[in-house]
Amino acid sequence: MSLKHLGNKNILIVEDDAFNMQLLRSLLTKISNMNIIPSYDGAEALHILESAKEKIDMILLDIHLPVMNGIDLLGHVRQHYSYEDLPVLIISVDKKDKADLFRMGANEFIHKPFDIYDLASKISSNFTT
C-alpha cells in the first residue's frame, strides 16, 4: 500500500488535537511523498487556502475546531471550489452528520480510529489525476 505514485501533492490537514495531527502526519509520511500542511483551526486553514503560493490539492478536515468549525470552513470552501477541484475529506468520530456534510459538499469520510488502508484508499480515490 502506497500513495507515492501521487507525487508531492499538497494536503492541508485541519485538526485541532495535536496527537491526532501527528498521527495523521506519521501515517501519511509512511505511505506517501505528499507535502503536509498542518492547521489547528478553521480560520487559520482558510487563511492558508487563500494565501498559499502553491495549490492545495486536498483537505483533511476535522469538524470540531476552535475559532471556525469544520462545517463553516467546508461552506467557505464550496463557495469557491467544485468537488473535483478540491476534495474535502471529513475526519470524524461521529457518523450522525454524514448525510448533511455530503449535501454540503464533503467528498468522503475518514472515521476515527484511523486505519492506514482506509486512509490510503480514500485519499487515492479522491484525487482526480
Partner 1 sequence: MAKDIFIHTPIRETESVYHPVQFKKAVYAHLLKNFDEPVIERLLKTAVTSMEGYLDSIKKNILLKDRKALRNTLHALQGMLINLGLEEEANTAKEIQNILKLHDFQNINSLIENFLQTMTDLLKELQKNIT
Query: Which residues lie near partner 1 (CB under 8 A)?
Result: 16-20, 22-23, 26-27, 30, 62, 64, 93, 112-114, 116
Give me the least distance between CB of 36 and partner 1, in Å please: 15
Determine contact, residues 67/41, Cβ cutoff 8 Å: yes
Nearer to partner 1, 18 or 52 (CB): 18
Give me the least distance between CB of 21 and partner 1, in Å please: 8
Nearer to partner 1, 52 or 93 (CB): 93
CA gap 87, 84 in Å, rounded: 6
Give me the least distance between CB of 109 and partner 1, in Å please: 14
Nearer to partner 1, 42 or 86 (CB): 42
